[in-house]
Chains A and B, each alone.
Chain A
Amino acid sequence: MGKTRVLAAALVTALLATAGCGGPAPGGKGDDKEAGTIRLLTPIFEGTDGKKVLEEQLKAFKDSHPKVTVEVDYTSYSKLNEKLTTSIASGRPYDVMLMGVGWIPPFAAKGALTPLDEQKGELSQRFYERAVDPGVYDGKVYGLPIMLDTRFGLYRKDLFAEAGLSGPPRNFAELREYGRKLTKRDAGGKLTRAGLDILSNDLRQTFLPLLWANGGDLFTADGKPAFNSEAGVGALQFMTDVVRTDRSEDFGFTQPGVAGGPPLAQGRAAMMIGHNNVWQAIQETAPDLIKQDKIGFFMIANERPALFQGGTIGTVSAKSAHPAAAKALVTFLASEKTSLAANEQRGNVPALKSLATSEYVTGNKAVQFAMENMGSAYSEGGVPAWLEIRGDFKATIESALLGKKTPKQALDELAATAQSAIAKG
């Protein structure tokens, strides 16, 4: 037995060594001068337009940091993981990596990131405090927010008026009641208008704001699952009630990313939980709705108001040969001018308080609404095992919506899986 083990271990080592990650690259010691060639991996700035935006910005960066050359690798969020994995495995990670919210703890805990020379307190002066949090792990700042993706409630003012409702719902009870009132079915029972659309948005990202609004938390302060608390079960019960009891939407009525865009724009839904760029989609497909001021927003609220906040965070690799230059680039990407350009290109929400009055933000009501409510923003993740846990939320929520499990059962099972992933470390 012992012999086979040694042999096998030797084989693995040999394979990895031949594969190129056995020997560390010579001269890998970082310098602290702002100079050298650094590589940037970005899932944003896609397409010709995005590239133009970034290159223009990088010209400005070159002017202020003449000794730093930036090589950009453009990818998309859908292939970001593969790019990150292969580059990290090969021992040649990118100097600057843009990641999503929830990624900092796993990567920082494993020593893949370098802390930035920033203090949370100081950053919270410039950025929204809630937007700074996802970049912080273990008290150190590892990433700066460049753009935020937010989720909140959207509703059709015209349909509300038609139904005699004067304003958006303020709590779960009103959400359900309004949803029932606004739902329409044809003679055959086929749903023609969902009163409350909770399926256009990624299910996890619909559940989480409900959880937070209901006073719950994703994890406890010491990193244990908390989403199966009473508040969490209540949030999933709410979703289940909307679909199964109120029948304000049928399971399968719509799903994220469908060709026609969100049903809200077509009047096939009266309210929805959605992304801030639904606004952009409506502007393209049904601009009249915006011109006639028919789209309104509301915070998802029950015990407290809650806004779901995801986003793109700039980080520096622990293996960067030019950490000072890389940090300078992250600071630059999160700076006023650059992040404004990035957000404008994608219709997203800036994390800098000073941009709240920019022309872009004042011209986009959804973004403006999100920025006004950043005080109630919550982020997913927080534990190093998050990437292993998050993928299971969808099936858990679906099993409740389909009536296969009770919300409590479903969440308890997920919490047990999550706990074992966390324990494994």
Chain B
Amino acid sequence: MRSLPSRVLLHLLLAVGALAMVVPFVWMVLSSLKSHADIASYPPKLLPTEWVWSNYREALAYAPFGTYFRNSLLIALGHTVINVILASMAGYALARVPFRGRSVLFMGVLTMMMIPTYTKIVPQYLIAKGMPFFGGNDYLGRGGNGWLDSWWVLIVPGALTPFAIFLFRQFYLSLPVELEEAARIDGMGEFGIFARVMTPLVKPAVATVALITFENSWNNFLWPLLVTTRDDLRVIQVGLAVFQQAEKTEWAYLMAGSTLATVPMIVLFLLAQRYFVQGFATAGIK
């Protein structure tokens, strides 16, 4: 396909780029294996003088990471499934079905991304607390704690992102119109066209949304911390924050914990990236 020198050059280019990208991770992993004395040594040492594997064991004992890991996993899975289903439907409707006010609705979705988290978080907390009929609340959402300290509040508010709707819309937009017309002639309804004709063609988008939703949810910290008071509802990033205390940071443990928290994401990525291969759209067109 290509000449040998150009392939070598390409690999060289990519390898250098990839190496530059992973340098901080190498630093992270090396630091996770250093002793206190090594971390504080001056001049700094690249490699640990003594490889302290026990940092990992000690880091895991620093907080109930088993529980945190399970909670993060459940929340991330919940977010991913809900986001992919709801956002793909919404994105499809916004991209493929003409109706009055569609443009305005689309801009509305975009504006939902334009107020920073820190501003929205107090009202969101109040909404969660004021959920009617939950947690001892009356029909006006008074009296009790609503969704606070429950799985509801961990999963529902973050389960749908405007980002995902927007992404799906852009991908459905670029599909050829002949496909849906052919399906319509076959007597397929709108939902069937969405689910059985169009969505299989945007598998890369599904994989992208799934991956990013999972990863954002996995790395979420502030919301789970605010809306829970019980340790058994807390998540992995809350656990990692324990290594960083007001007057001192447990660097080696923090690096060990972060390394462990990153590994599942890398595995997930390697699995998901297989969907990024040419052929879905073309297969559909033929």
Contacts and interface: CB of A to CB of B under 8 A. Distances in A.
Direct contact of A and B (CB under 8 A): yes
Interface of A: 15-16, 18-21, 23, 25-26, 39, 43, 46-49, 51, 71, 73-79, 82-83, 85-86, 89-90, 92, 149, 257, 259-261, 263, 265-268, 275, 277, 280-281, 284-286, 346
Interface stretch (B140-148, B163-171, B263-271): B140-148
Given A19-B123, A75-B225, A77-B246, 9 more contacts: A18-B130, A20-B141, A25-B143, A26-B143, A47-B63, A48-B64, A260-B39, A280-B248, A285-B39
B62 A20 contact: no
A20 B142 contact: yes
Contacts of A257: 249
Interface string B7-44: 00000000000000000000000010000110111101
B121 interface: yes
A78 B37 contact: no
B246 A43 contact: yes
Contact of A268 (B42, B62, B247, B251): B42
Given A20-B146, A71-B229, A76 B245 contact: yes
Given A19-B130, A47-B62, A86-B121, A259 B39 contact: yes
Given A25-B143, A73-B229, A79-B222, A261 B40 contact: yes
A74 B41 CA distance: 33
A261 B145 CA distance: 43
B275 interface: no
A90 B248 contact: no
Given A18-B141, A257-B249, A285 B242 contact: no
A257 to B, nearest CB: 6
10 contacts: A20-B126, A26-B142, A48-B62, A71-B230, A89-B122, A260-B39, A265-B40, A266-B42, A285-B39, A286-B37
Contacts of B246: 43, 76-78
A24 B249 CA distance: 41
Contacts of A346: 245, 247
B29 to A, nearest CB: 15
B127 interface: yes
B61 interface: yes
A266 to B, nearest CB: 4
Contact of B125 (A73, A78, A89): A89
A83 B248 contact: no
Nearest to B131: A20
